[in-house]
Amino acid sequence: MISLPDAFKKFKSRMELNEREQQNASKRQKEVREHLDNAFQIDRSFLTGSYARWTKSKPLKDVDIFFVLGKDEDHYRDKHPDKILTAFYNTLVDVYGSSAVKKQGRSVGVDFGVVVDSDDNTDYRVVSVDAVPAFAKGDDYEIPNNTTGKWMGTNPEIHAQKAVSAHQAYGNEWKGLVRMVKYWNQNSRHGEKPIKPSFLIEVMAMECLHGGWGGSHDREIQAFFATLRDRIHEDWPDPAGLGSPVSDRMDAAMVKRAQTILDQANRDIAAAIHLARQGKNGDALKAWRAFFGPKFPLS
């Protein structure tokens, strides 16, 4: 039987990007870019968001791609952000069909129809991408925000640097832990994700996971979930100080629901840790698997 520390290591590595997934993501980036090139002047595009920071959990859904628009498209900046999102949407619907394309608050999602199996595997393929129209603004970017009806500043480079600093300050275990907690958040047993957006988990981890890596995943997860429960109701600004608060999608009812689910999570964690302390390794493994989902190994 696998030991608990080894199970966590295996769980962590299962959520790391591998060569084939990265090749597939690049292929999809090129493909979507080619379609958008037919309708827009695009200066460059790049894979970004949690995918580029290695804080995305599996299966790989909603991988973010920024499409940096050129001068010919500047007129969109004076318009409601819905205009560019609708234009992206129309172009992509022509190619992928309306059932595969979704207009979202800040991006247009494209689903590639990849099947996710019961172990959350996709044969190393990306399930969907989010095409984000962006304008360069100095070192920053402006992206549409349909919730506010305004263009929003962002800087993925700053988010990436902050993630790297947090990772290093935490014995290089920070990104792995963020992926695990994001995986818990998307467990289908919750129905809706308790914490939205999942970027909020990463933003909270930037501030809450300090004091150094203590050496065991279960204890670190216990401490982080306790803090998530205590501080989920707070306002969490964009760590780059540019965009709207990352916590602005959680209204009072959503916060209350998240708190209830996090209370249960904290009880589940205590029970799993107790099983291990009693020497019931097999039961502890099962408890963690039920907690996280099928990517947590039993052997």
Ligand X SMILES: Nc1ncnc2c1ncn2[C@@H]1O[C@H](COP(=O)(O)OP(=O)(O)OP(=O)(O)O)[C@@H](O)[C@H]1O
- Summarize as ranges the residues that interact with ligand X (CB under 6 A): 49-50, 56, 62, 64, 154, 156, 159, 197-199, 202, 238, 242-244, 246
Q: Least distance from C-beta 246 to ligand X, angstroms?
A: 5
Q: How far apart are CA 97 and CA 82, in angstroms?
A: 20
Burial of 67 (0-12, 13-18, 19+ CB in 10 A): buried
Give the residue with the Cβ less far from ligand X, 130 or 173: 130
Tokens of residue 73, six digits:
């498209």
The conformational region for residue 69 under phi > 0 = left, psi -120 to 50 = alpha, else beta, is beta
Residues 49, 53, 54, CA angle at the centre, nearest 5°? Answer: 115
Q: How far apart are CA 36 and CA 15, in angstroms?
A: 30
Give the residue with the Cβ less far from ligand X, 159 or 285: 159
Residues 6+ apart with CB under 8 A from 163: 53, 55, 174, 175, 178, 202, 206
Tokens of residue 181, six digits:
């907690």
Q: Least distance from C-beta 132 to Mg ion, angstroms?
A: 9
Q: Does 239 bind Mg ion (CB under 5 A)?
A: no
Looking at residue 207, its amino acid is: E
Q: Least distance from C-beta 197 to ligand X, angstroms?
A: 4
Q: Least distance from C-beta 270 to ligand X, angstroms?
A: 27
The residue within the footprint of Mg ion, chosen from 32, 40, 64, 193 (CB under 5 A), is 64
Per the DSSP assignment, residues forming a β-bridge with 46 are: 66
Supply the DSSP symbol for 43. E
Binding segment (CB under 5 A) for Mg ion, from list 61-69, 99-107, 120-128, 189-197: 61-69
Give the residue with the Cβ less far from ligand X, 205 or 275: 205
Give the residue with the Cβ less far from ligand X, 173 or 202: 202
Give the residue with the Cβ less far from ligand X, 209 or 246: 246
Q: Does 49 bind Mg ion (CB under 5 A)?
A: yes
Q: Least distance from C-beta 267 to ligand X, angstroms?
A: 26
